Structure formats: C-alpha cells, structure tokens
A and B are shown apart, each in its own frame.
Chain A
Amino acid sequence: MTYEKHQFHSAPVLIEDLAPVLRLSLRVKPAHRDTLARVLGLDLPVRVGARSAAAGTEALCLGPDEWLLTAPEGTDLTTPARAVHADAPHSLVDISDREITLRLTGPAVLDLLSACCPRNVAAMPVGAAARTVFDSATVILWRDGIDSFRMDVWRSFAPHVRSLLAQVQGEIAAGL
C-alpha cells in the first residue's frame, strides 16, 4: 500500500494574543524631548513612524510631539520622568489597558492586512510602525519582520477587528 504524506506548511496566517504590556503615552514639546529621552534611557525618534528600543523599552514616534512607550509590566518610567517635570513639562499617561495587542504572522499576512487597511502595508519598512485604520478602527501597526506584525487595537474595537480578521483568515485558508 502506498500513501502520500502531505507536507502541510504552517498556517498562511496566524493570529495570536500577546501578553499585556505597559503602555505610556508621552506628549512633550520638541524643546524638552532630549531631556525626556535622557531620563527614560532611550532615544525618542523625531520622524513619525520611527521606533527605538533600549533595555526592553520601546518608543514609537506617533506625531511631532507624541510618543508611545511600551515596556514589560512593572517597569517604572514615571518616577524618572517626574523628577524632571519642572524643567521639562510633559504628560506621561498610563494607557496600558486601553488596547490589546495581536501578533499577526505568516506568509499571507500582507493579504490579511490589506483586506482592511487602506495604507500600502507592503511598503512599510521592517522596524517601522504606524497609527492607521483597520476597517473603521484606529490601530497601531508594528512591522517586526517581513511577515510579522503586531497590531494594537482599542478594547472596544477588538471584537469587530477580531471578527474581520477571522473572516479574512478563513477566506485565505479557503484559497479565495
């Protein structure tokens, strides 16, 4: 008896929930950016969409005076920032629970994203990130690899985004 052993590749797209992280929203005027960068211990890039990382903390430039910081839960970034607040006025707000993060990976991940993102996701450089829209929901998309993304989704939009992702995932699996 002969049989053929199929080499099933890993799923074309994989959607996973990531563990909670500390998320902070930093707003600071350009004149005081360097001071904050120094006490937080990482570079604060000036180009929108650029990222930096140091010792487990990541910074993403969202706007001319706005950064998103992520770090492992329990990291204390507010104490060093508070120490320079008088000289470098800023706002540093804990938004950890506002969003959930999904990891989207696999060879068809660009098909999955482009089904609902109007932006040219394929043109995003690896190592960049962007605040954009997924269907009608505002999301932050981090490109960590050629076919690996993270997507931060506001909790209230998560069921909508999840159902769309599952639907597109099904269509990709069916070869549509």
Chain B
Amino acid sequence: MLLIHCPYCDDTLPELEFAYAGEAHIARPADPSALTDEEWRDFLFIRTNARGPHYERWRHIGCGRLFNALRDTVSDRFLTTYKAGEARRPLTNEAAE
C-alpha cells in the first residue's frame, strides 16, 4: 500500500485514508461566460495526462483537506506533497524530497 504524507496532519498515512481528486493547478476561469467553447472544453476536459511527474490533488479523509502532490505516474512514487494554494513545486526539487 502507498504511504502518503499529508501536509496538514504532517503525518505519513496509508493510501486508504486518501482520495484522488484530479490534476492540480487548474485555475477556474475568472469570467466563465467570456470563454469560447474551445476554451471551456479545455478547462473542463483537457488534461496533461503526464507520463512521469504529475501535479495532482488529493483529499485526506482524516483532516478533510485537499492538498497538492507531485507523483510519478510511471513508478507511482510520491515525490512531494504540499498545501493547497501554495505555488507549484518545481520539478528540480524532486531529488531533494
């Protein structure tokens, strides 16, 4: 079983306490009605589908918080996790984590 570090609980806990919540850092459009159909489609459906490091959101059942994670989709290894609202962690930091 995967162990995931929750940045709010500051604890590393089993995957079964967490729920995957899609790709991270997708900003909602400030003015949705101004979007073209293509922009709206891209916002709703078009995702990176990364092979390798992937920025994604997870929710911890324990504290009820959504947070961000950088996970390698090939190895399933969590490279880092950080609080929601924080800036995207650069990929170059992954070796240090």
In the complex, are the beta carbons of A63 and B65 less than 8 A apart?
yes
Whether A90 sits at the interface, judged by CB under 8 Å, is no
CB distance from B76 to the nearest CB of A (A): 17
Most buried by A among B11, B16, B61, B63: B63
Given A118-B17, A119-B17; A133-B61 close (CB under 8 Å): yes
| Closest chain B CB from A122 CB (angstroms) | 14
Q: Which residue of B lies closest to A61 (CB)?
A: B63
In this complex, the interface size class of chain A, counting residues with CB under 8 Å from chain B, is 10 to 19
Assuming A48-B8, A64-B8, is B63 touching A131 (CB within 8 A)? yes
Chain A: CB-nearest residue to B13: A119
- Does chain B have a CB within 8 A of A138? yes
Partner of A132, one of B1, B8, B10, B62: B62
Interface membership of chain A positions 105-138, coded 1 if the CB is closer than 8 angstroms to chain B and 0 otherwise = 0000000000000110000000000111100001
- Any A CB within 8 A of the CB of B32: no
Most buried by A among B1, B8, B62: B62
Q: Which residue of A lies closest to B63 (CB)?
A: A63
Q: Which B residues contact A (CB, under 8 angstroms)?
A: 1, 8-11, 13-17, 61-65
